[in-house]
Structure 1
Amino acid sequence: MARIILQNDNINFSTDKQSITNGFISDRDLLKKRSKKYLDLIAGLDAKTLTETKGMDELIKAIQEEFGTAELSNLPLGILSKCFLGHPYEVHTLDLSGSQIIKHYKITETMEAEFEKARSVAKHNAYAMVEIYKDKIILIREDGTATKL
């Protein structure tokens, strides 16, 4: 028969997930599957106009929901994805470094260095988007699965 060795009522053995309060996002958290809402909003950057305040607010809200309580330094600098506006446009960026500007780039146009290094991957049909961080690149497939590059 088993004996109870510890007589402490304060021990909590629950398996409930506790939310991260320090705002740190580990690579493990970054590689979690992205939500359909998030993917749809990013995919709609070509199809819909987000110049209206409501559209941009909805996009920013979805990004905040996706990354939770992360500190600003742990959020992506921006998101790069294939542009479907047609020739001569190739890719577009959503700059999250403060201005939340959507910019479409032509084939011959150069981008900021952080984004340029992921340009060829963003054009590839295997990925829906590429999240650019200051020290890493996360590739997101159509189904929401993520891979670190």
Structure 2
Amino acid sequence: MSHEVTEMPAPVRQFSIQLSSTRRGARLGRLLVIQQLVDWGLPFEATGQVVAELAANAITHGRVPGRDFRLSVALSVTGTLRIEVYDSRGDRIPHAHDPDAGDAESGRGLVVVGACADRWGVALGPVPGKVVWAEIDLAPGR
């Protein structure tokens, strides 16, 4: 995980939606992103898994009653797909748990994100929230 903000080239394509901080909102976000990737002619399996995990974290650990979360995907000219999930809990910074730590009920989502994405991290703000992001390199030869 990285706490640095990576600068992504201007996006070629982008999609963003605000969703309710519920399981239904998280599921809808995953389905809408998958459909968007299909429409763009891009692979969606790894991205769908990353979106599912980040959205689940947003509604579980980043939820503030009455506040939504925002889900965005952007494709750069270099072939990098960036997924961002903004939630309202900047005081709760996620970190990946040790996958060998036993039978923990939670904490595996970011391990999955780390396995599916080429990079991921957290950026604080806009206040009071945070953005958890992941990048997947889709360009050939990467």
TM-score under structure 1 normalisation? 0.33
TM-score under structure 2 normalisation? 0.34
Q: Which has the higher strand share?
A: 2
Q: Which has the larger radius of gyration?
A: 1
Q: Which has the higher helix share?
A: 2
Structure ranking higher on relative contact order (CA contacts 8 Å, 6+ apart): 2
